[in-house]
Structure 1
Amino acid sequence: MSIESTPRGVTVTASTVRQILTLPSFQNATLLAGASGLHRMVRSINTMEVPDVLPWTNEGELLLTTGYPMRSNPLALEDFIVELDKRGLAGLAIKLGRYIDELPEAMLRRADEIGFPVVQVDDTIAFADMLNQVLLEILGRSASAIEKAERDHEDLMQLVLHGEGIPQVIEAVQAQLSHDVDGSVVVALAERTGQFAHVAGGDLADAAAVILDDDGAFRATAFGHGVHNIGALSLAVGSVKAEGNRGYLVAIRCDRPWTSSEVITLERGATVAALVLTREAAVSAVEHKYRADLLRDVLAGRVSASTATARAANFGWDLSGPRVVVVAADPPTAGTLEGGRADQRTKAWTSRVRALDPGAATATFAAESVAVLSAPEGVVPDERVFDDLATVLAPAGKRFDGIVGVSRVASDLDALPAAYAQAWEAVRVGRMLEADRTVSRFDDLGLYRLLSWIPDSSELRSFLTDTLGELAGPEGNPEVDELRRTLTVLLETNLNVAETARQLHFHYNTLRYRVNKLEKLLGPFTSDARLRADLLVALHVWQMRVAHT
């Protein structure tokens, strides 16, 4: 399918061939061929009385002729209209009987094939009358278009002044572009990602599947700002540039190409949409600051329960009943997001949290996203809930590289500061443990909570080396790694050799051999309970201080 694109809408205000044929000087005209092209736009009119007229023609012209240049070779008319069509002319109007009695059948068939209107005009009407009426029609439409564009712009600005949002702006632009449309016009706002936030006038996928990718997103790299004619489909794209955000206002029709006045309407609509988005971003930033300040005060215990409850209600938060605090913390090395990216992240986090719990309190601070979720019956939600929350903080198709810390259940609002501290403790310890885990729950920390507060001193490393010996080294030695893994599972199963063999997929005798080897390295841990305790603590220390360094 051929695609004809222009950087901007270059079609001036015009009338269709069908509309031109209603003028007084064309009332007795007869359409000889090309009925499917009556939607072609007439932007000017020209006369042809010399054979080499082609270099002097322009796109959108209606060409008037008596056929004088073709009188000696009427058969050449078939090739002639093909050339006119290639140059984008609107149609050919000819007076018959003076120099050419009739047009060749081959020419008329060809005109029907390419949808190029061929009209026989009344030979009693002077070309001057036709020229004047067509030009007056076009100029009149230009004046009307300018007047309408001003009215449309004023209407859109009134929407902004009355506090209306993006849906109302998109619907208004769609109505403005549909004032003389036989079919349907679809107008939509595509966000930076290409996803459509608002659509007015119909189903976008049905109207123009060619402009969408496999995920239903707008192909902005292929169809940038301007007009794109794709077969019978005409696509107009206006850029929406708001602070920290960029999108596209897209308009689609299938009855004819867009005119420049309509493109101006679309572009003004894009400007107004940018104003609305900027206003909404400013309001959202202020609201976010108030939300963040309140939640920070609640989690720091700087506000009474009664005051917090009353202020929280203004944001739709419900802080009553058992609650759990969730802190999604970025890695310490992560840079600070600014502008539009930070706003998008805040919106994504808030939207996902509120979808999970409509009454949840939520805010985003410098390097953390916080939520206070309900805990029905005093039970912490399943870990998959927190994994799902983390996905909105990660780049598309990637894993969140921070840690989501989860507190114990707080029985009431006064217990939230302690719960917030627990969530951050879970984050801090989680950063020391397995790199492949995203969620760290305070209730699951166990011995790691105590070990995390011990400084990384030479005494601690000495204990690690004295207790584990060769097993205290970092990962990388396959034999040592297997022995360390065997020891870990043995201690976790309380020295159940059969169960350890099953978990490690070893033969029983193979495991007995490994146990003997471990006792030669570490001492008689199978019979010395204190040594087993030392080994278990040392393995915890190794996991925190060595495994992922």
Structure 2
Amino acid sequence: MARLANDPPDRSHNLTDTPYGLPLSDVLRIDALAGAKTLAGAVGMNRPVTGLNIMEVPDVLGWVKPHELLVTTGFPLLDRERRLDVARMVALVQGLYDKTLGGFAIKLGRYVDTVPDEVLALADALGFPIVQIPDEVAFDDVLKDAYAALNAFQSNVLAQIDALHSALTMIVLEGGDLEQIAAEVSQVLDVGVLVTSTDGREWAGALSDEARATLEVSEFLDMSGRVRIERLRGARPFGAGEIRVLNVATSGTDLARLVVVSERRVLRASDVYALERAATVAALLITRMQAVVAVEGKYRGDFLRDVLTDRAESPQYVLEHAEGLGWDLDRPLVVVVAQLDPPGPDEAVVSSRTHRGFQDRFAAAWRQVVERRGRSIAVADFSSQVVALLPVSGDGSDVSEVVEEALAAVRGDSGGGRRPFSAGISRVVSGVEELPDAYTRARKAVDVGRRMQGSGSTTYFDRLGVRRLLSQVEDPAELDGFVTEVLGTLAEDSATAADLRATLQVLLDVNLNVAEAARTQHFHYNTMRYRVTKLESLLGPFSTDPQVRLDVAVALQILQMRE
């Protein structure tokens, strides 16, 4: 039985917030609506229709549901003089659009002769379809044919979704991977599919060459190949269709993203519903994969940690065991230690679980970047740092190129919620017995670089200069004592001391050229001469004694390392 406009809505039948219904253009193809004409709002003919409603009362807005097609003879729109109330009709069209109805169909001739121009203009502006029903059509026939078409469509949709869910579940049970899930979804729904990390790094995909080429030159992909998921809030236009992202999550944990690329058509609500089911199955597979990776990662990480902390057995054992893990350590390597930077003073404190999520995503990014270069490259997560052993040429001429390429790929454009990190790079090693020293130096490079340059630093141990030697001093008190002995009161933590130290550093930087130092600090020449005299009274004759000058320069370097 048809539901009339004054029947109260039964919201218990709304199984999902995502409606899947026939596009209005398809509803108008049923036999009962043969000859129907679109009067306005033609751009909205793809609006989904999940049911029909008959307008029997003027205040119908209180009784309609989203995605219905409202049909009427126009009688409730007449005033007391049996003339069309144009203002009421304008308000009705606006109200139906606001309540996301599929469209408005009216039978002209008996009560309403024409739809006023202002109503048609509003419908065109809103993209809300107004359709004229043929005069000879009975509403009972419209309801019967429309609901038959809707039921057939929804049955097909449910069958498709069930078949897709069953196929995906079977893939998981049979030990399949994300590539197979992406391929199955792509084939069933005729769309391109990418499964990515939460920050947009591709894990698996089923995308045509044409779609991938279009994606690569679009705003949705950065230079490193990362999908800019932060730009994909809801559906975005892509060719003649759209691109959108769905979250893959389970038990409150964000696992991945499902990126859907549809070049030829806009996704139907039924497609989105099916994709949500696919995301659920993908979450099950990713959870299982993460458990396996966690076990394997701990085993690999423990072995690499033993190698880098000089607790492993003979070099021959290390090489053989590494080969069993798929790693090649018998070649020139540099050790890269990468650490997430601590949160800034303006950032909110996060829970340990959230911080662990940052580190997991950071480690996954490194694994993906390194494995693309070669699966024989060793990389492991040490909880607070990620360590990678990158292969380089024997003479080390390509160290910068290799390292910077890897760092750029991990950083990308810093979108997708990625955290800044600092990295330290060892000198080139030619044998596994040199790896412990290289690891120690890479860690020191991270610490010194972060103190000297701040967050996001990249520091090569071999380029630290005198800081490389200073970082080898194990006793910090020894360094502090040297600073106090050389600088005296200039070592104090005061504004006056800091100001004089700045002048002193400028003088050293310009080889004691007083005129150049005055220009650099925007002082008068005589003012700079006065400062030189004052500094020498505190430090000794650094302008004439090379040994004093060397001690002062080293002490300033130590202070910079301590900041």
Q: Same fold (TM over 0.5)?
A: yes
CA distance in 2, matches of 1:511, 1:68: 92
Tell me what 1:309 maps to. Answer: 319
Deviations 1:5-42 (A, max 9, x none): x996453544745456444xx38x42244494665555
> Of 526, 529, 540, which residue of structure 1 is paired with 2:554?
540
- Secondary structure of the corresponding residue to residue 117 of structure 1: strand
> Of 248, 257, 263, which residue of structure 2 is paired with 1:240?
248
The alignment status of 1:370 with 2:390, answered yes or no, reads: no
CA distance in 2, matches of 1:22, 1:51: 28
Q: Is the contact between residue 446 and residue 458 of structure 2 (CA under 8 Å) also seen in structure 1?
A: no
CA distance in 2, matches of 1:312, 1:303: 12
Tell me what 2:131 maps to. Answer: 117
CA distance in 1, matches of 2:493, 2:362: 37
The alignment status of 1:61 with 2:66, answered yes or no, reads: no
Matches within 5 A, 1:452-467: 452-453=472-473, 455-457=475-477, 464-467=483-486
Tell me what 1:320 maps to. Answer: 330
Unmatched runs of 5 consecutive residues or more in structure 1: 1-5, 179-184
Residue type at the aligned position of 1:412: G
Q: Is the contact between residue 33 and residue 109 of structure 1 (CA under 8 Å) also seen in structure 2?
A: no
Tell me what 2:504 maps to. Answer: 484
CA distance in 1, matches of 2:376, 2:337: 17
Following superposition, the deviation at residue 247 of structure 1 comes to: 5.2
Q: Which deviates further from its counterpart, 37-46 or 304-313?
A: 37-46
Matches within 5 A, 1:261-340: 261-299=270-308, 300=310, 302-313=312-323, 315-329=325-339, 338-340=355-357
CA distance in 2, matches of 1:235, 1:450: 54
- How large is the Cα RMSD of the aligned pairs? 5.6
In 2 relative to 1, CA 109–508 (structure 1 residues): closer, same or farther, beyond 3 Å? closer
Residue type at the aligned position of 1:481: R
Deviations 1:117-169 (A, max 9, x none): 2121646xx65555444433333433333333221211221232344444543
CA distance in 2, matches of 1:56, 1:466: 87
Q: Which deviates further from its counterpart, 108-117 or 505-514?
A: 505-514
Unmatched runs of 5 consecutive residues or more in structure 2: 1-13, 345-349
Tell me what 1:92 maps to. Answer: 105
Following superposition, the deviation at residue 393 of structure 1 comes to: 7.2
In 2 relative to 1, CA 77–504 (structure 1 residues): closer, same or farther, beyond 3 Å? closer
Q: Is the contact between residue 390 and residue 400 of structure 1 (CA under 8 Å) also seen in structure 2?
A: no
CA distance in 2, matches of 1:173, 1:192: 20
Tell me what 1:157 maps to. Answer: 169
In 2 relative to 1, CA 129–286 (structure 1 residues): closer, same or farther, beyond 3 Å? same
In 2 relative to 1, CA 503–381 (structure 1 residues): closer, same or farther, beyond 3 Å? farther
Deviations 1:208-256 (A, max 9, x none): x999799984468964xxx999xx9899875421474255546687967
Residue type at the aligned position of 1:61: L
Following superposition, the deviation at residue 170 of structure 1 comes to: 3.9
Deviations 1:184-212 (A, max 9, x none): x66666754478875757759989x9997
CA distance in 2, matches of 1:406, 1:475: 35
Following superposition, the deviation at residue 329 of structure 1 comes to: 4.8
- Secondary structure of the corresponding residue to residue 367 of structure 2: helix
In 2 relative to 1, CA 541–348 (structure 1 residues): closer, same or farther, beyond 3 Å? same
Tell me what 1:139 maps to. Answer: 151
Tell me what 1:44 maps to. Answer: 51
In 2 relative to 1, CA 388–76 (structure 1 residues): closer, same or farther, beyond 3 Å? same
Following superposition, the deviation at residue 302 of structure 1 comes to: 0.9
Q: Is the contact between residue 429 and residue 449 of structure 1 (CA under 8 Å) also seen in structure 2?
A: no
Following superposition, the deviation at residue 485 of structure 1 comes to: 2.6
Tell me what 1:76 maps to. Answer: 84
CA distance in 1, matches of 2:150, 2:366: 53
- Secondary structure of the corresponding residue to residue 326 of structure 1: strand
CA distance in 1, matches of 2:562, 2:289: 44
CA distance in 2, matches of 1:527, 1:250: 68
Tell me what 1:410 maps to. Answer: 429
In 2 relative to 1, CA 104–314 (structure 1 residues): closer, same or farther, beyond 3 Å? same
CA distance in 2, matches of 1:479, 1:71: 85
Tell me what 2:438 maps to. Answer: 419
Q: Is the contact between residue 92 and residue 118 of structure 1 (CA under 8 Å) also seen in structure 2?
A: yes
Deviations 1:90-131 (A, max 9, x none): 4537497xx57x9448689949955322121646xx655554
- Secondary structure of the corresponding residue to residue 160 of structure 1: helix
Tell me what 2:5 maps to. Answer: none
Matches within 5 A, 1:206-221: 217-218=228-229
Matches within 5 A, 1:436-515: 438-442=458-462, 444-446=464-466, 449=469, 452-453=472-473, 455-457=475-477, 464-474=483-493, 476-477=495-496, 480-481=500-501, 484-485=504-505, 488=508
Q: Is the contact between residue 30 and residue 119 of structure 1 (CA under 8 Å) also seen in structure 2?
A: yes
- Secondary structure of the corresponding residue to residue 475 of structure 2: coil
In 2 relative to 1, CA 537–333 (structure 1 residues): closer, same or farther, beyond 3 Å? farther
In 2 relative to 1, CA 415–435 (structure 1 residues): closer, same or farther, beyond 3 Å? same
- Secondary structure of the corresponding residue to residue 359 of structure 2: helix
> Of 25, 29, 35, which residue of structure 2 is paired with 1:30?
35
- Secondary structure of the corresponding residue to residue 427 of structure 2: coil
CA distance in 1, matches of 2:130, 2:492: 83
Q: Is the contact between residue 205 and residue 216 of structure 1 (CA under 8 Å) also seen in structure 2?
A: no
In 2 relative to 1, CA 428–442 (structure 1 residues): closer, same or farther, beyond 3 Å? farther
CA distance in 2, matches of 1:425, 1:352: 24
Following superposition, the deviation at residue 343 of structure 1 comes to: 1.5
CA distance in 2, matches of 1:204, 1:79: 50
Following superposition, the deviation at residue 292 of structure 1 comes to: 1.4
CA distance in 2, matches of 1:352, 1:327: 15
In 2 relative to 1, CA 521–359 (structure 1 residues): closer, same or farther, beyond 3 Å? same
- Secondary structure of the corresponding residue to residue 92 of structure 1: strand
Residue type at the aligned position of 2:282: A
Deviations 1:340-359 (A, max 9, x none): 32221102233445567775
The alignment status of 1:11 with 2:23, answered yes or no, reads: no
Residue type at the aligned position of 1:152: L
Q: Is the contact between residue 46 and residue 63 of structure 1 (CA under 8 Å) also seen in structure 2?
A: yes
Following superposition, the deviation at residue 541 of structure 1 comes to: 4.0
Deviations 1:403-461 (A, max 9, x none): 6443333222232233323434545666776768641515745586368536355x876
CA distance in 2, matches of 1:527, 1:95: 104
CA distance in 1, matches of 2:324, 2:492: 56
Tell me what 1:182 maps to. Answer: none
